[in-house]
Amino acid sequence: MRLLMIGLVVGSLAMAAPWWPGNRALAAEEVTGTSFVPSGEPRVTPRAKSFLDDKLIKDAAKAIDALIDAGLARDQIKPQPRTKDPQFLRRVYLDLAGRIPTIDETLEFLASTKADKRNALVRRLLESEAYVSTTFNWWADMLRARTRLQDRYDGRPYIDWIKQSIRSNTPYDRLVYQLITASGPTCARGNGATGFYVTDAGMPLDNMANTVRLFLGTRVACAQCHDHPFDKWTRKDFYQMAAFTAGTEVAAPLGLLDGAVKTLAEHSATRPVSTGWGKWGSFQPVPYTAAQVTQLVEETIGMHVSSGDLGEIALPSNYQYNDAKPDDLVQARTIFDEQILTDASKRARAVYGRWLTAPGNPRFTMVAVNRLWKRLMRVGLIEPLDQLTDQTRPFNAALADYLVQLLKDVHYDTRLFQAAICATNAYQAQTVMGDADRLQFHHEGQPLRRLSAEQMWDSLMTLTVAEVDGIRDASAEALYRFYEVNRAKSPDQLAPLVLKVADAQVELDNVEKDIVFRREKLAAASDTDKPALETEIKEVVAKRELLRTQADILSPYADAHASTSPYRRASELLSPTPPGHFLRVFGQSNRQLMDNASDAMNLTQALELMNGLVETTILGDPSSVLSRGLARMHAAEDKVFILYAAILSRAPTAAEMEYGLKVMSLAPNRRGAAYLGWALINSAEFAFNQ
């Protein structure tokens, strides 16, 4: 009854550059709707969006449990009992939504008496925007997706492409194929997969090493320089593999705008230019910011990935082994010594992409299964994920074989595959205490683990803002629009735009200095002069805000619906966030290396939770979701209940209720709810996923 009554109250709260003269225009078939298709590349036959087949899920879950139980019985290991509803609720939300459930979601699930409510919840989460958000974090760590690729190139099209692929439930094999074969303009709508190569621009050998590690579970990077000391791969093997992507280039036609911009600047008699703080003259030099604006325009419109498709590569001049000579050309062969590239078909990347993602490539599917299994079950079938050799074996070979076949049978539909895992008794088992990495672990239960940085942040955002899953960042829409409007313009047509923005940036710099100067003057002014100076400062600040828009070349194309609030999900913030941000403190990957996140605990994390966001915003701001929920409760008992339901996704025990009421009665200044909420958020139960 308490669940129903409180639910009614809380529920009311829920709410090659084609743009230069002489270069070809894009062929009509290359831009189809909202997705870019590289000319001449083989198209992948689209699969219909799969539905979550209940019978398939239940049958697969039963088969998985039977294989796990057989392994446990063989090793005389007793499985853990089934989770209770609150534990399952919190676990599945953290795994599939990347956050704790809202108060409404908690009360709805716990009050439900439907027999199949767990599977229904899994289905709903897998089809939610929250799933897109947390799955993006998973992919971004693997693909090293950053807002600024190499701290230079705009990575938002890459980020947007990953999110859209998840949202449309692109099959795993098709997604990987699109990455491998990506080519064309990097800012063309739907062509963000090119970010896979932009990430390693100028480092094609590193790109191949990362690809093999990520999708084949094999570390071959050291074979760039010498035969692998601990595996069978030779330096020649590595270069033969690299031959598949040899000649693939990431480039923009830098410098082609310079002449037009300089000529226009020198012959523009009416264009004013600033000579000091707020003072204007008539001399017409090229603005010092023009070079940066020019580069931005050239990289936005002209940056592209081209397919060399050479199918061969020269060995380095320092090659040191007897199986070939320095500078010899070697032909493309897979690292498993397969000759898949014929003379009749030199489309090397397409052939390589088909081979890599083919169901007949056992390593590809096994690695995909291993990553998906670890995402939900916390320990891989084979550990580590990316050091597979001929000698490594899964802890349960029959289970691994079944899961590999299952992923093939569902056509690499990762949602359907994960739904089957979530339906198993193994996934829904109680927690196993201890460090799973140091145990001879056979999935007798779920090992305890700390929330990831993104799960921690997104859970706190759930307590802060309503409808947090619907808040979006600026994405790449402005880049797409800018590209579409300007890609066909000549340098002479683009030069006025460059100069206008460059002039605004120069003026903005001067206005910033002017504001500092006037504020210093204000600090030293008499009381009589201060009102006039304050008025002047307000006028200059208003001018600065206008100039900020004029100084941003993408501003006219911005998405009006994008949020600029710092309180949104991790997937909608900068990727990665700057050093010092909450997410980085809790171990968010810098996304320069693959799988580089950390779940290690430290003192700084404790201080971050004890102070700052939790105290000032979640508990101190009356507009936060948690504060508003508490404000609707009048009885101290109801406040205690809401705090436990909102923060820990469960009702308090009798002892916890008694203690909570004591805090309510003894806390000064009627801040008992804030004190108790602070304690729960800082508890180990909140920080760990059981």
- Give the ranges where 217-289 is alpha helix by DSSP (H): 235-242, 258-266
User: Do 77 and 426 meet the contact criterion of CB atoms below 8 Å apart?
Assistant: no
Does residue 656 share a domain with residue 620?
Answer: yes
CA distances from residue 546 to 250, 511, 513, 543, 626 in whole angstroms, order as listed: 36, 11, 16, 5, 37
User: Do 295 and 287 meet the contact criterion of CB atoms below 8 Å apart?
Assistant: no
Look at residues 126, 116, 115 and name the one whose alpha carbon lies nearest to residue 52.
126
Written as six digits, the tokens of 81 are: 């009992």
Look at residues 477, 475, 480 and name the one whose alpha carbon lies nearest to residue 31.
480
C-alpha torsion sign, points 352, 355, 361, 364:
positive
Three-class DSSP category at 447: strand
Q: Which residues contact 552 (CB under 8 A, 6 or more apart)?
A: 501
Does residue 325 share a domain with residue 191?
Answer: yes
Does residue 207 share a domain with residue 313?
Answer: yes
d(CA 476, CA 483): 11
3-state secondary structure 478-503: HHHHHHHHHCCCCHHHHHHHHHHHHH
Look at residues 617, 530, 626 and name the one whose alpha carbon lies nearest to residue 582.
617
Q: Is residue 192 part of a domain?
A: yes
Q: Is residue 537 part of a domain?
A: yes
User: Do 647 and 641 meet the contact criterion of CB atoms below 8 Å apart?
Assistant: no
Three-class DSSP category at 306: strand
Helix axes 172-180, 362-377, angle to 10 degrees: 120
| Residue 540 CA, distance from chain mean position | 39
Question: 């639910």: which residue's tokens?
Answer: 7
Does residue 397 share a domain with residue 423?
Answer: yes
User: Do 450 and 88 meet the contact criterion of CB atoms below 8 Å apart?
Assistant: no
| Residue 146 CA, distance from chain mean position | 8
**Block mean pLDDT (10 aa), the chain, length 690:** 50 39 34 34 41 88 96 91 97 98 96 96 97 98 96 95 97 98 96 97 94 93 80 87 93 92 82 52 76 94 90 92 92 88 77 94 94 95 88 91 96 97 97 71 86 98 96 90 96 95 93 93 92 93 94 90 90 96 96 92 90 91 95 94 97 96 86 94 95
* CATH number of the domain residue 584 falls in: 1.10.3130
d(CA 151, CA 516): 29
Question: Checking DSSP bridges between strand 148-149 and strand 153-154, what pairing results, if any?
Answer: antiparallel
Q: Which helix (H) or strand (E) holds 153?
A: strand 153-154
pLDDT of amino acid 130:
98
Look at residues 133, 146, 159 and name the one whose alpha carbon lies nearest to residue 591.
146
Choose one of 429, 447, 465: the last residue of a domain: 447
pLDDT of amino acid 343:
67
Q: Which helix (H) or strand (E) holds 31?
A: strand 31-32
Does residue 282 share a domain with residue 403?
Answer: no
Residue 273, classified by CB atoms within 10 Å of its CB into exposed (0-12), middle (13-18) or buried (19+), is middle
Does residue 240 share a domain with residue 341?
Answer: yes
Question: Checking DSSP bridges between strand 431-432 and strand 446-447, what pairing results, if any?
Answer: parallel
d(CA 281, CA 267): 16
d(CA 146, CA 188): 18
Written as six digits, the tokens of 454 are: 């993104």
- The total of other beta-carbon atoms located within 10 Å of residue 627's CB is 19
User: Do 659 and 672 meet the contact criterion of CB atoms below 8 Å apart?
Assistant: no
Q: Is residue 676 part of a domain?
A: yes
Three-class DSSP category at 13: coil
d(CA 456, CA 582): 9
Does residue 156 share a domain with residue 102?
Answer: no
Choose one of 496, 530, 557: the last residue of a domain: 557
Does residue 313 share a domain with residue 386?
Answer: no
Q: Please report, as a single letter, which amino acid is at residue 313.
A: I
Q: Is residue 490 part of a domain?
A: yes
User: Do 234 and 301 meet the contact criterion of CB atoms below 8 Å apart?
Assistant: no
Q: Which helix (H) or strand (E) holds 329?
A: strand 329-331
Helix axes 654-666, 672-681, angle to 10 degrees: 130
Q: Which residues contact 401 (CB under 8 A, 6 or more apart)?
A: none
Question: 């990495």: which residue's tokens?
Answer: 437
Q: Is residue 37 part of a domain?
A: no
Look at residues 243, 240, 246 and name the one whose alpha carbon lies nearest to residue 324.
240
For the chain, how many structural domains are there in total? 4
Q: Is residue 520 part of a domain?
A: yes
Does residue 220 share a domain with residue 351?
Answer: yes
Does residue 495 share a domain with residue 365?
Answer: no
User: Do 570 and 564 meet the contact criterion of CB atoms below 8 Å apart?
Assistant: no
Q: Please report, as a single letter, which amino acid is at residue 145.
A: A
Does residue 315 share a domain with residue 210?
Answer: yes
Q: Is residue 442 part of a domain?
A: yes
d(CA 223, CA 367): 21
Q: Which residues contact 2 (CB under 8 A, 6 or more apart)?
A: 638, 641, 651
User: Do 537 and 519 meet the contact criterion of CB atoms below 8 Å apart?
Assistant: yes
CA dihedral 328, 329, 332, 335 (to 10 degrees): 10
Is-cis flag, bond preceding 384, omega within 30?
Answer: yes
Does residue 609 share a domain with residue 482?
Answer: no
Choose one of 323, 342, 357: the last residue of a domain: 357
Question: 């676990």: which residue's tokens?
Answer: 91
pLDDT of amino acid 285:
81
User: Do 12 and 281 meet the contact criterion of CB atoms below 8 Å apart?
Assistant: no
User: Do 673 and 664 meet the contact criterion of CB atoms below 8 Å apart?
Assistant: yes
C-alpha torsion sign, points 549, 151, 305, 495:
positive
Q: Is residue 97 part of a domain?
A: yes
Q: The domain containing residue 119 runs over which residues?
A: 57-136+361-447
User: Do 394 and 400 meet the contact criterion of CB atoms below 8 Å apart?
Assistant: yes
pLDDT of amino acid 24:
33
